[in-house]
Structure 1
């Protein structure tokens, strides 16, 4: 009896040491990191976001949560601001200073070249799957964007601890071109582990069945379709008004992008808010920014730039009159003009440059946007309307 008890104690001690070693290796053991959450803008109210944050804080996942927004009744730390505009400005300040390592937010405009990798739970087998991508835009060229989306998905999956994620390409317009480009990248030395469709004919091109079953770890898709899929996966049990499943729209990924900002929908409910904060902590501890740098270096050695250039060869986003147009002096661009077709986005920016208005392209709440200084919105709108890029009455996000 005594020998049996000693053996049991030794097993418990051994298991404890293994768990401690695993925790140290994974980064779960040691100094806590801070993850931010902006708390204005939800269709379900501020309380919805705060409740999700409090649930995440109680999970014991070794990270602290910093709320950014108006004063509310909570035990969590709050950095007080009163408006959405000030909220995002404060969020960026906290990220730049390193006080928070990542932030979860809504209604945030990424620059073109950055898009988010969502994380869902498939209804078929309850499998987690990454959707690359779900908000923002990786490129104004659809096919090029999807190739980049594959890289973004791989980067995120690796940050989440999947060493060799399987990659599938959803059967949408351009899927075959994307497949050829990715296989060329693989043949040039960049490792891509292609998934096989569950359908009898197999292959890396995924059907709707594969989307539901979670056949691939990373499902490559154009961003607008990916955004729709996120909404379907997260709210198919609620009728659409409340997103109750999954982990949100994920971190913005892009070459040389140096912030960890994850996106929620205004319709995201308490469970998704909680999960998104955990997602943010895990990709941060998984060193997503370092992995992104490493993966882009590997991909470029495998001639990524040449492959993307070839994809663009028939895509003319600049006319002869746009050649040589130089951007005016850079200004703070917090005003946005939407209603512009993504295929015209870069041309619209250059039209403004020609008139001396500094502008940048981006992706906003309703799609592509042109960003200009707040004081120049009216004149910029007139210029774009006259040039035929938008209707005369500006579409405001």
Structure 2
């Protein structure tokens, strides 16, 4: 019999005799090949996790090094991934931590970070993978994926904020429509004076929300910065890594590290994986997607907003006039189309960029009519 397995059995017997209860350990694998810091760095993270978390059994996949941890040996990272998938599907491990892994379209990862302003945790949705080919659809799904992970971590009503990036206002509208249909999403408020669900960089640093929604490329950049800002960038030392791949019908708990992730992040990623197993991530995700399908979220996502660009290509600009009023809340992806929409109604307008994002500038006398037209166009 395997010595590690025998030790685990004896420990469980001791627990039962001491506490009168059976405590099954969560079994988390970690692939050891492919790190820019070498195999020993990942093994060090695995051993650190095993030392710190007595309810977790850590197993290695790849090279064993000098470790006493159980190892399923493989010679390449691709071999590690094949073995990892086999072990997950056979339920020989409950979750796995790896790097440089390609998820199918529709699956993206929710990172878990410690923010520098107040030392609070925040989930960043998402950090790798692609939830959808369309930007807005992907970010709406990212919000759902972040909600799922937060609930699996025990946050009953996670607060959701949308980072102020291209598409944020469109994402806000779709999420509000989902909420009107019955999806229980709780919006955060920015710590800045003007508030709102659209978050600034200040909100990210201070963790103003439980789940920060963004596009994956921006999320990937942010997780790298917040993980390595104390080390000069080549060694990620803070946080829990890039998180689990989430998507409808996806049934494996696979956690992602960067090849720049150091031992502390590897250890935290193992804890993150164990937390999600104990929080029944798969069941939480299944229930969430069932609810969304009942309220027709796919129909809502498939309805492409009809931007007026094609109809307004030849619109003539009205005679210029002084513009002193600003209308905010317009997405940058729709900005020029909304300006032309106002032109088509005889209202002179200019696009601009304020401190909170894109704005449309109009005269004071046109403000009320312009706001009415824009609100109607964006419904």
Aligned mate of 2:48, from 49, 55, 72: 55
Is the counterpart of residue 146 in structure 1 residue 144 in structure 2? no
Aligned mate of 1:240, from 229, 233, 236: 233
SS in structure 1 at match of 2:28: strand
Aligned mate of 1:285, from 271, 278, 281: 278
Deviates most, 301-310 or 84-93: 301-310
Contact 1:247–1:275 under 8 Å retained in 2: yes
Aligned position for 1:110: 103
TM-score after normalising by structure 1: 0.71
Contact 1:61–1:278 under 8 Å retained in 2: no
Aligned position for 2:321: none
Give the deviation of 1:312 after TM superposition.
Answer: 6.9
Give the deviation of 1:39 after TM superposition.
Answer: 0.2
Is the counterpart of residue 216 in structure 1 residue 209 in structure 2? yes
The answer for unaligned runs of 5 or more in structure 1 is 1-19, 315-397
TM-score after normalising by structure 2: 0.74
Aligned mate of 2:154, from 141, 161, 164: 161
1:216 & 1:186 partners in 2: Cα distance? 18
Contact 2:237–2:263 under 8 Å retained in 1: yes
> Over the residues paired in the alignment, what is the CA RMSD in angstroms?
1.4
Give the deviation of 1:301 after TM superposition.
Answer: 2.1
Is the counterpart of residue 42 in structure 1 residue 35 in structure 2? yes
Cα displacement string for residues 302-342 of structure 1 (whole angstroms, at most 9, x for unaligned residues): 2211210114777xxxxxxxxxxxxxxxxxxxxxxxxxxxx
Is the counterpart of residue 134 in structure 1 residue 127 in structure 2? yes
Is the counterpart of residue 201 in structure 1 residue 194 in structure 2? yes
1:158 & 1:42 partners in 2: Cα distance? 31
Aligned position for 2:224: 231
SS in structure 1 at match of 2:274: helix
SS in structure 2 at match of 1:179: helix
SS in structure 2 at match of 1:58: helix
Aligned position for 1:125: 118
Aligned position for 1:77: 70
Between the two proteins, the alignment pairs up a number of residues equal to 289
Contact 2:53–2:271 under 8 Å retained in 1: no
Aligned mate of 2:169, from 168, 176, 190: 176
Is the counterpart of residue 31 in structure 1 residue 24 in structure 2? yes
Contact 2:150–2:158 under 8 Å retained in 1: yes
2:291 & 2:91 partners in 1: Cα distance? 28
Give the deviation of 1:59 after TM superposition.
Answer: 1.1
Cα displacement string for residues 44-103 of structure 1 (whole angstroms, at most 9, x for unaligned residues): 000100000001001134010110012311111101111112111111110111000100
Contact 2:97–2:273 under 8 Å retained in 1: yes
Contact 2:27–2:93 under 8 Å retained in 1: yes
1:233 & 1:312 partners in 2: Cα distance? 34
1:211 & 1:304 partners in 2: Cα distance? 28
1:275 & 1:312 partners in 2: Cα distance? 41
SS in structure 1 at match of 2:52: coil
Is the counterpart of residue 296 in structure 1 residue 279 in structure 2? no
Cα displacement string for residues 214-271 of structure 1 (whole angstroms, at most 9, x for unaligned residues): 0000000000000000001100111110000000000000000010000000000111
Is the counterpart of residue 274 in structure 1 residue 284 in structure 2? no
The answer for unaligned runs of 5 or more in structure 2 is 1-18, 308-379
Give the deviation of 1:297 after TM superposition.
Answer: 1.2
2:137 & 2:53 partners in 1: Cα distance? 41
Cα displacement string for residues 4-53 of structure 1 (whole angstroms, at most 9, x for unaligned residues): xxxxxxxxxxxxxxxx89xx8xxxx7111210000000000001000000
SS in structure 2 at match of 1:110: coil
